[in-house]
Structure 1
Amino acid sequence: MSDVRFTRSIDKAHLARLKAAREEADAAYNAALSALDAALPAVPEMPHPAAPADEAQVTTLNERYAVLSAAPVVGGLKGLLLKPVLAVVAPYLARQEAFNAALVDHVNRNVAAERSVRESQAALIETLRIELERLATFHSALIVYLQQLTPYVDTKDYEFDGLAMRRLEDVGEAVDTLHHRTVGPGGAISGVGDELNKRLERLAVHERRFEARVAALDAAHTQLAQSLGVVTRATQTLKREVERLVEREPRSGHRAPEPVAATGPLDVESAGPSAASDNSFARGGIESFKYVGFEDQFRGSTTVIRERLKDYLPVFAGQQDVLDIGCGRGEFLELLRQQGIRSRGLDINHEMVEECRQRGLDALEGDALGHLRGLPDDSLGGIFAAQVVEHLQPDYLVALLQRAHDVLRPGGVLALETVNVACWFAFFQSYVRDITHVRPLHPETLAYFVRASGFPHVDVQFRSPYPEAHKLQHVPGSDAMHYALNANVDTLNSLLFTHLDYAVIARKP
């Protein structure tokens, strides 16, 4: 054997540098957590309920409104002298007393109504305060939990690799020493080699365990990030509710009483539920932030969606007054604005509309068919709806397509994108996952109803192809069995793994 001495590549100084680098990364991570903790918003000061109405004279008014019936009876000569006078002024006093009675009744009713409004307002403010304090507590607990991840995620990385290499080099050095000191080097080195292999196997097991722990921590970190996103959107929703409450408060600090009918007591339930109190998951309301978070997690980030929707820009080239139905977070509206195309978004989800407006986009909250019915014929240059039609009932969809044809100008474009349910993977992975989907639409079905609504030329374009590398692969071979097997593979791929989405594009003649 050649007389080659063992040379170390990892010395103590190198290990010290690796440890210092790890500690520096730990410090940077902790600094980022501290900055995140400092950036958490404080619980806003809640507005005080309106000052109570002045009820100081209400009792006096109720006791003294009767000016005629409460007048004392006077007898004798004075009574005889007053009798003709009373005969003249009695009708006027009776009218005054009737007026006083009506006024006192009106004051009593308004005092009761104001008292009820103030109590409801105080209860609402207290509820919002409690919810905001709960969110602040959750934020603090989340930061503490993230800080607990530091010793698990950012240790054993550089230092682990260095220690492993150091251990291997220690073993190698021992083998080299035995090679030069042992009389029978062949047998000695063979035994040391077996021991070395055992140690290497143990190191490999430890490394796999470490990688599994890191993967589990990465998954936990992803789940925490998703939870933090949901909490952030909940905070934004509550903040907007508080701002609306503050805006409804008159600047003087006093609330004007609501008009109340003078024929009976105030009936709180007679007005019926508010039109804005829709409990639908995808609509507006205090729970609508959850659907926004659902879109973020499963449909993709705004950057990903924006890149995918760029393919539709040539379809609307040269058009103006484009309506984006179901505009969501406004990705396509931003693309149209960059191209100088005048556009407006429409969505039934209040949180989606607020997010668009915060980015300076023109967006309205409302129903698609109701909005189109409010527009004059031939008033739009284009209508775009991505991932919307699968949320609609059949009768509603047919009426929407017909009205879309009417409001488009000649040459105007209609583009509808939806899940390609003819692709089994898209159906079971994308369509079924969204609980707001109403009915799957086959490409031929949607194309037929668009054509039947007055669009003679309809183009179906398949988009978002399934990655080739993830499809079923051919088996190498040239005999009849391999040919039949690969033909079946192609058939399965055409059913299971084709295009995830499709678009129906039509132009009004």
Structure 2
Amino acid sequence: MMEENNSEINVDELMHTIREEVVKRQVYSQQINSESNLDTSKLKLSISYIETFLKNAESRSSLRIKWPDKLNRFPFNLSAKFQKLILKALNFIFKDQREVNFNIINSLRESVVLNHQLIGQIATLKAQADNRIQSLDERVVTIDTSIQGIENSLNAIDTLINSWLTGIQKDLDTLNMRVQGIDEHLSIVYARMAKLNEHLITTESRIVTVDTRIQEINERYIRNDSYLKNDLMQQKRLITLFLEEAKKCLPEPFSQEQLQTFVNEDTHFLDVFYAAFEDQFRGSRKEILERLKVYLPLIEEAKVGTAESPILDVGCGRGEWLELLEESGYTSRGLDINKVMVEQSRSRGFEVIEADVMVYLQSLPDRSLGMVTGFHIIEHLTFPTLMKFFTEVVRILKPGGLAIFETPNPENVLASSCNFYFDPTHQHPLPSSMIKFILEMQGLQQVKVINLHPYPEAYKVIGSEIAERFNDYFYGPQDYAVVGYKL
């Protein structure tokens, strides 16, 4: 039996196998005929022998009524009466044996009759077998003819397939050569593309480097330009005021009021310096925006920042917190005394008021704000001013409003002993427990301290308990925020 997954069939071998099978069947049928004839003749001869034996046995097993001729000689030539007597005695003695013999003979006769019947049936079967064999021979001849036709068809198909495969092989060879040529061309293209990609990567890296440098130069130029413009404006304003006041008093000396005007303007002498200082040491605008996002959930929880409960950011500086509040959809405004920073914030579209913090807070009505914030502002105030500041904050907050103030953490040794004094306008480090106590004394409730901005893990020392304590003191939170609510 051929499997379905045979990919190739040998037609010649298949035809040869079929022919051999046909010849074998023909020879086998002839052998059967000859053997059946031989067996039948032998069987008839055996039955003839058996019938002869039965006739002889029947004659010998019949009842003895005559004295054998061979026994009429001396000394067996007895009288007729004595012979009859002996015969009767013998017949009586062998009566049972005679019956047995008759039974056996009858059985054998029936067996002969059965054998004759069997011979007849064998002859019938042989005739039927001959007919079937003849029919089979005819079918074999028909099959052989059909196979010959199939063989001729297969040979024609094989020739056609070989011709077709030859054409396909030629086409495949041609296609393979074309593909090989395309592959070689693609290899060259890929090599060129790889070189071009390397060149593009190098060029892109250079462009990024140049772009970064240009951006840095541009930012530096913008800052310097802003500083110079503001400084020139301040100088121009001072000169204008000086000339105006000089005109008023000349040739008389300056009055006390005129001198106070110059003194007030003198307080803004360091505005440009402090704006540049903030840009250098405060951190980039992006970093500050990212840090301030920690306070947004507190605003959402308190439900402030609406038109009825606006937010005031004291010492708003460059306006990062105002920008984040505006992006989050809250109503807010800023307050600062530095003219340069006020102009920078206003240029970004924020509402910023230029005024002294205490003067402005004292001008506000009671319960007028939803939240007051100050990031790195309270460390700039003297202690008496700080107390007055917190008093005003509690006064102007609405019930349910909150205050958030962030300042350097003096528990961090590096922050309190070094970094705090980067800013020459700082007064003193403010411990978190002290500020928490002051706010509670001023009337705020649920006051809590949030530690912020620890050093990265890479700075910390790995080791014993002493190392952990060292990390807390030197690389712990650099800032903290105190949060209180007005009930």
Corresponding residue for residue 348 of structure 1: 337
Report if aligned partners of 2:411, 2:431 keep a CA contact under 8 Å in 1.
Answer: yes
2:453 corresponds in structure 1 to: 464
* 2:435 corresponds to: 446
Q: Identify the residue that residue 486 of structure 2 maps to in structure 1.
A: 508
Cα drift, residue 324 of structure 1:
0.2
Q: Map Cα deviations across residues 279-298 of structure 1 (whole Å, 9 max, x no partner).
A: 45xxx34x422211111111
Normalising by structure 2, we get a TM-score of 0.52
Pairs within 5 Å for 1:42-121:
none
Residue 493 (structure 1) aligned with residue 482 (structure 2): no
Q: Distance in 2 between matches of 1:256 and 1:424?
A: 51
Q: Secondary structure at the match of 1:432?
A: helix
User: Where do residues 80-229 of structure 1 align in structure 2 (5 Å cutoff)?
Assistant: 228=221
Pairing 1:274–2:267 present: no
Match of 1:308 in 2: 291
Counterpart of 1:382? 371
Report SS of the residue matched to 2:405.
strand
2:227 equivalent to 1:234: yes
SS in 2 for 1:462: strand
Q: Does 1 or 2 have the higher relative contact order (CA < 8 Å, sep 6+)?
A: 1
- 3-state SS of 1:494 partner: helix
Counterpart position of 1:292: 275
Q: Pairwise mapping of residues 339-418 of structure 1 onto structure 2 (< 5 A)? A: 339-418=328-407
Higher CA-based Rg: 2
Taking the aligned partners of 1:429 and 1:225, their CA distance within structure 2 comes to 31
Taking structure 1 as reference, are residues 405 and 24 closer, same or farther at Cα in structure 2, changes over 3 Å only? closer
Cα distance in 1 between the residues matched to 2:204 and 2:375:
47
- Measure, in 1, the Cα distance between the counterparts of 2:204 and 2:469: 55
Q: Retained in 1: the 8 A contact 2:289–2:320? A: yes
Structure 1 residue runs without a partner (length 5+): 1-13, 37-220, 249-254, 475-485
Counterpart CA distance in 1 for 2:466 and 2:441 is 37
Change over 3 Å in CA distance of 1:225–1:440 after alignment to 2: farther
For 2:227, the aligned partner's letter is: A
User: How many angstroms apart in 2 are the aligned matches of 1:495 and 1:243?
Assistant: 49
Q: Kindly indicate whether the alpha-carbon contact (under 8 Å) linking 1:347 and 1:364 is maintained by their aligned counterparts in 2.
A: yes
Deviations 1:229-263 (A, max 9, x none): 66333223145448869999xxxxxx9999969xx
Aligned AA (2:484): A
Per-residue CA deviations over 1:384-410 (Å, capped at 9, x if unaligned) read: 000011111001001110111111111
Equivalent pair of 1:305/1:331 in contact (CA under 8 Å): yes
Q: CA deviation at 1:457?
A: 2.0
Q: CA RMSD for the aligned pairs? A: 3.9
The amino acid across from 1:503 in the alignment is A
1:334 aligns with 2:323: yes
Deviations 1:27-46 (A, max 9, x none): 9999999xx7xxxxxxxxxx
Instruction: Tell me, yes or no, if the aligned pair for 2:227 and 2:276 is still in contact at 8 Å.
Output: no
Post-superposition CA distance 1:141-168 (Å, at most 9, x none) = xxxxxxxxxxxxxxxxxxxxxxxxxxxx
- Between the aligned partners of 1:340 and 1:357, the Cα distance in structure 2 is 18
Seq. identity, %: 31
1:111-165 per-residue CA deviation (whole Å, 9 max, x = no partner) reads: xxxxxxxxxxxxxxxxxxxxxxxxxxxxxxxxxxxxxxxxxxxxxxxxxxxxxxx
Whether contact under 8 Å (2:246, 2:254) holds in the other structure is no
In 1, Cα distance between equivalents of 2:266 and 2:259: 15
Distance 2:245 2:415 in 1: 56
Q: Does the 8 Å CA contact 1:230/1:289 hold for their aligned counterparts?
A: no
Q: Secondary structure at the match of 2:461?
A: coil
SS of residue in 1 equivalent to 2:445: coil
C-alpha spacing 1:269/1:470, structure 2 compared with 1 (3 Å): same
Specify every segment of 5 or more residues in structure 2 that has no aligned partner in the other structure, as ranges. 1-193
Name the structure with the higher helix share: 2
| Alignment partners' CA distance in 2, 1:31 and 1:432 | 35
Per the alignment, residue 139 of structure 1 pairs with: none
